Amino acid sequence: MFFILIPILLIQLLRTFSIRTNILLEYPDERKQHNHPVPLLGGLVLFISTIIFSVLGLIENKLTCDICFYLVFIIGILDDLFELRYYVKLIMQILVSILYVQNNVIAITDNNTINSIATAVWFVVILNAFNLIDGINGLLIGLSIIYAAFTGNIWLVLPLFVLLFFNMNEKTFMGDSGAFMLAYIFISSNSANIPTRFSALVVFFGYPIYEITSSFLRRILMKKNPFKPDRYHLHYIGSEQFGLSTFLMLTYSLTLGFVLISSQKLDWLIYLGICTVIFIYQLCFIFHTERMLKGDDGNF
């Protein structure tokens, strides 16, 4: 019961505070097409809830004793408050990754230095990958419910369902603090069930990894700044083409599929094949849209 009541109470209290003070409000613009200012409270609710659950003895993990947990939240909440430059966030994430590799190293080779560097890169990539998928209502939280179930973080499931309800009704957004924290929780030592083989780990988190990888590739192909945001993410295209509900169901199913095949032989080969098909579809849509915007119907 506490796993539902505490998040609901926090959302109601923090929403009132945010709206009255204009703090942590996200306003609509050309990229953010909600109809009214929405509080960026998901990360704050999740952070406070985790501490309360721990104090009450409702969860048994080391998150509240993990300095990286707090640092990741601080980076996110600062970005939610002040919209930090991408390079400022990147530098801060790299600094935290140095602490992260002290207790979390992915064994890729026999060289500890290479493993540490690769793990630090993975840390930065996965944080930003989760942030990238927080572009439409229900996507980040829905995928996080799946990851919570499969990484042994069952205590997260009910709070995430509460946040999903408010998110789908545009009462609150997760914000960078929420996206960064969720990513960190799933890759931290508190998650006992994530794959240890690197290729399987990539497939396990296949959808967020696809989003960040395809974003860099398509922007480079289009000769644009790979760090500059746009509306050509798969979730924008998919929700426009199929409708929000249908696209969410497709993405949940795809994510579940990636999680399940991550423990199978040739997982990376299947993953690459699926991602290639999706990327070709995405590029075709983008180039067609670009031609339409330029007034070129493609005929000679």
**Secondary structure (DSSP) of the chain:** -HHHHHHHHHHHHHHHHHHHHT-SEE---SS---SS-EEB-HHHHHHHHHHHHHHTT----SGGG-HHHHHHHHHHHHHHHH---HHHHHHHHHHHHHHHTTT----SSS-HHHHHHHHHHHHHHHHHHHHHTTTSTTHHHHHHHHHHHHTT-GGGHHHHHHHHHHHHTTS-B-HHHHHHHHHHHHHSTT-TTS-SSHHHHHHHTHHHHHHHHHHHHHHHHTTS-TTS--S-SHHHHHHHHH-HHHHHHHHHHHHHHHHHHTTSTTHHHHHHHHHHHHHHHHHHHHHHHHHHHTT--S--
Per-residue model confidence (pLDDT) at position 295? 66
Separation of alpha carbons 4 and 250, rounded Å: 27
pTM: 0.92
Q: Along the 300 residues of the chain, how does pLDDT read in single tens digits? A: 899 999 999 999 999 999 999 999 998 766 666 678 999 999 999 999 999 999 999 998 789 999 999 999 999 999 999 999 999 999 999 999 999 999 888 888 889 999 999 999 999 999 999 999 999 999 999 999 999 999 989 999 999 999 999 999 999 999 999 999 999 999 987 777 888 889 999 999 999 999 999 999 999 888 888 888 888 899 999 999 999 999 999 999 999 999 999 988 889 999 999 999 999 999 999 888 888 777 654 443
CB of 116 within 8 A of CB of 105? yes
Per-residue model confidence (pLDDT) at position 298? 42
Per-residue model confidence (pLDDT) at position 105? 86
Cα Rg of the chain, angstroms: 19
Helix axes 67-82, 86-100, angle to 10 degrees: 170
CB of 7 within 8 A of CB of 163? yes
Separation of alpha carbons 178 and 156, rounded Å: 13
User: Residue 38: which H helix or E strand, with range?
Assistant: strand 38-39
SS3 25: strand
The two tokens of residue 223 are 């000769």
Nearest-CA neighbor of 46 among 142, 141, 159? 159
- Cα dihedral: 144, 147, 153, 158 (round 10): 40
